[in-house]
Structure 1
Amino acid sequence: MTTPRATGQPEVRDDATWIVLTRHFAAPVEDVWAAVTEPGRLERWIGTWTGDPASGSVTLRMTAEAEMPEEVHHIEACEPPRLLRTRAHGEGPDGDWHLELRLTEEDGGTTLHFGQALPDPSWARSVGPGWDYYLDRLVAAETGGDVSGIDFDRDYYPALSADYEARFPATPDRS
């Protein structure tokens, strides 16, 4: 595996700062869609979900982090095999987590654009390394790599935090 690096970039949409990370796969869009939506394939790199998507929500259990509680993700948009947008209700000051997966076919394969709205840009210092970790696990799972060899504590956090702090300056206090 190559040395992990900070890949998230800021994007401003509707007055919110998003962190957007991309990964390219030498695979058709339908295959990448399956890797990010089918419970069995999802479990290889992040977790699994239960429930009926037709109801408008599913429960996600992240298996790579044993201490993580299950989260209900409300499906705001689902347009297979191109777009999935969810919102998970956060407890306390964290607020809701707005997540978006967009898939585009290009360059002989599929590019995954993963984004999360940040309540404060300074969140990128911890959120960015986390999503780089999970997306690198996705790449390993889909290319036959060693998912278990990807180490969050050793290679992602806090190792990538300074790069994210530089890209996402904190919102100034306006009080």
Structure 2
Amino acid sequence: MNPEADTLTTGDGRTALVMRRRFAHPPAAVWAAVTEPAQLAQWFPSEVTVELKPGGAMGFHFPGDDGPGMTGRVTDAEEPRVFAFEWGEDHLRWEITPEGEGSLLTLTHTFGDRFGGASFASGWHLCLTALGQILDSEPVDVDADKGDLHEAYLEQFDLGGGEIQGTTVRFERQLLRPAEAVWAELAAGRPVAEGSAVPSGFTAPRFEQGSVTQAREPELLAYRASTGELVRWEFGAGTGHGARLVLTVDGMDPRQAREAWHERIEHLAARLLELASA
């Protein structure tokens, strides 16, 4: 990974991931690799059809998926410097700059889901590795990420620290396992019902005692701690890596709550990484 070259910035409700990679190939070769459907099919996440002009139509189809796939629109096509397009609600911009006999490729991916940034970065990291192999006329040989790359980007982009919103602390984190597997890990195989004691996996230091107020496996568990704080775990759809966790804690000194629950979530994430890598 190239930490100094990969950045995640947020503004106006949108997030921009910027990734830069250098290749020992002229801009014309890189341009062909990022615009020609036959070459894109070897490294891009989906099969692509494209009308290569501003306003041109694009189609995206993932191998093995039924249905028509997604559509997009070309926003920029300036050979061999800039190729940009809309993909659903996202925007991707590829800029190619000459550097000696080679090129600098800059990808700017703009999207709305800030907490999906680590998933997008780890995915593009592997895609750009495959692109480099294609440009070098080598067979594509890229191992799928078992979670280490995803978690490294999550730490690099500081996406797991939690946010204080008044008296509430809110964590949102992309996990590496589906909701059913995360729930099983937290509940340790025990049934969870309203009014029952809270399984220890759903607790953190200073929040060990309490009773369940809501339970809907594997989507929601809420409980009122014995000291009065309300803790709420929610698991929803994520980016394809696993479930999206949203954890909120209300009623405690938010700085203390953030510290306690950050440690608990990091422990959970490490355990899920072990399971994903097994």
TM-score normalised by the chain length of structure 1: 0.76
The runs of at least 4 consecutive aligned structure 1 residues that moved more than 4 Å come to none
| Corresponding residue of 2:6 | 9
2-structure distance, mates of 1:56, 1:174: 43
Cα offsets for 1:98-132 (capped at 9, x unmatched): 11101000132111111211324321221111001
How much does 1:32 deviate? 0.7
Cα offsets for 1:51-80 (capped at 9, x unmatched): 5344522112345xx449732121112211
Letter in 2 for 1:100: R
| Corresponding residue of 2:139 | 146
Residue 56 (str. 1) matches residue 56 (str. 2): yes
Preserved CA contact (<8 Å) 2:74 2:85: yes
| Corresponding residue of 2:158 | 169
| Corresponding residue of 1:92 | none
Decide which of 4, 16, 19 is 1:18's aligned counterpart: 16
Between Structure 1 and Structure 2, how many residues are aligned? 159
Residue 130 (str. 1) matches residue 129 (str. 2): no
| Corresponding residue of 1:30 | 28
Preserved CA contact (<8 Å) 1:17 1:117: yes
1:49–1:25: structure 2 CA closer, same or farther, 3 Å change rule?
same
Preserved CA contact (<8 Å) 2:31 2:81: yes
Q: Which runs of 5+ in 1 are unaligned?
A: 90-95
Q: Which runs of 5+ in 2 are unaligned?
A: 167-278
2-structure distance, mates of 1:159, 1:59: 31
> Who wins on radius of gyration, i.e. which is larger?
2
| Corresponding residue of 1:93 | none
